[in-house]
Amino acid sequence: MTDSVLLLDNEAVQGVFDVEACLKALEQAYRAHAAGRAVVRQRTQSYVPLGEPDTFYCLKTMEGALFDGNYMALRITSDIVSEAKVDGVPRREKLPRGPGETYCGLVMLFDLRRLAPVAIIHDGYIQIYRVACTSALSARLLAREGAGDLGLIGSSGQAWAHLAAMNAVMPLRRVRVYSPTPANRESFARRAHEELGIAVSAVGSAREAIEGADLVVLATNTSRPIIEGAWLKPGVHVVSIVSGDDKCRRRELDDDTMRRAALVVAHSTEAAQAQKHGDLWEPVQAGILRWEDIHDLSDVVAGTAPVRARDEDITVFKNNVGLGLQFAAVAPLVYERARAAGAGRELPASWFLEKMKA
């Protein structure tokens, strides 16, 4: 145990990050969770109105630990969020209102046996890849054998991470990407070819991107359904990552997608029920789905929940919420690799400890 706290920015995280190692760590964490060998507190948000139209402050926290691990992970974000409409559709955007147009998101690791913090990590890079690798695990378990035709909606960092993670679990034969801004989707396609060696076609509509695909990923910030279930071919596996809560009900998927799905898996049905996540809550309220028929990813990973039964089945993974469990799996991996590589900045642990018993 070192007597320092390692401060890691996103550049340092990227330098030691490995997608395959992240996938393995998450899979082990989900198995532990299903076996009752993990501690997870559901994500909470506290909102403060700022007196600006469609804009508010949000503090978000979550934490988790693995019984067989060494750390408690706490993820905390301090955000200013806009829900203004773009082309008539509400879109949730984090605004860079920190000094120098910055954001604030941190993962802290605490030693379970010595209580002290050991790392403070910028959350950006871990965040997008813990989401993407979770989605990729669902594809590994639920997609049809031989799937490799990807329809991707979105061109942000989340879309990029999903492209890389999906390609890690199944070689992609064809990729079509759509996002509303032509320059963004075209730049995304060029970058994919240059950096990942993946041929990606930028297309002019969401429908053109997903029709005929056997793997569909929605990596958007919309608050209204972005696809129609009628566009989906039999056998497709659909991933959707839009989250939300009972303050901001958001959807990426329409009712017809859920109606056609033979199997729906959520990241957390508990969170979906408690926070009324739109893509699950609203179809249940409409009688299209039943909570008892929606399974948690942890149980699918552990082999205690069903997987695809037939090639022609449509399967849906709703990556509906972040869990402290994911940060408990991935952040220690990053921390230990960074320390071994001599990356980051050392801070005295004494700065974060006190003699007074509170």
Query: Residue 112 carries which side chain, given as an amino acid letter?
Result: L
User: At what angle are helices 124-142 and 19-34 packed, to 10 degrees?
Assistant: 70
Residue-level pLDDT at 86: 72
Q: pLDDT tens digits, residue range 295-316?
A: 999 999 999 999 999 999 999 9
Q: Which residue has the tokens 């989906």?
A: 232
Residue-level pLDDT at 223: 82
Residue-level pLDDT at 243: 82
Residue-level pLDDT at 92: 83
Q: Are 152 and 177 in contact (CB under 8 A)?
A: yes
Strand 315-318 to 294-296 pairing:
unpaired
Q: pLDDT tens digits, residue range 201-247?
A: 999 999 999 999 999 999 998 888 999 999 999 999 999 998 877 66
Question: Domains, the chain, ranges and CATH?
Answer: 4-126+323-352 (3.30.1780.10), 128-318 (3.40.50.720)
The pTM score is: 0.95
Residue-level pLDDT at 85: 77
Three-state secondary structure string covering the chain = CCCEEEEECHHHHHHHCCHHHHHHHHHHHHHHHHCCCEEEEEEEEEEEEEEECCEEEEEEEEEEEECCCCEEEEEEEEEEEECCEECCEEECEECCCECCCECEEEEEEEECCCCCEEEEEECHHHHHHHHHHHHHHHHHHHCCCCCCEEEEECCCHHHHHHHHHHHHHCCCCEEEEECCCHHHHHHHHHHHHHHHCCCEEECCCHHHHHCCCCEEEECCCECCCCCCHHHCCCCCEEEECCCCCCCCCCCCCCHHHHHHCCEEEECCHHHHHHHCCHHHHHHHHCCCCCHHHEEEHHHHHHCCCCCCCCCCCCEEEECCCCCHHHHHHHHHHHHHHHHHHCCCEEEEHHHHCCCCCC
Beta-ladder partners of 107 = 75, 121
Q: Which two tokens stand for residue 290?
A: 């039943």
Can you list the residues of the chain whose pLDDT is less than 50?
none
Question: Residue 105: how many CA atoms within 13 Å on its side-chain side?
Answer: 18
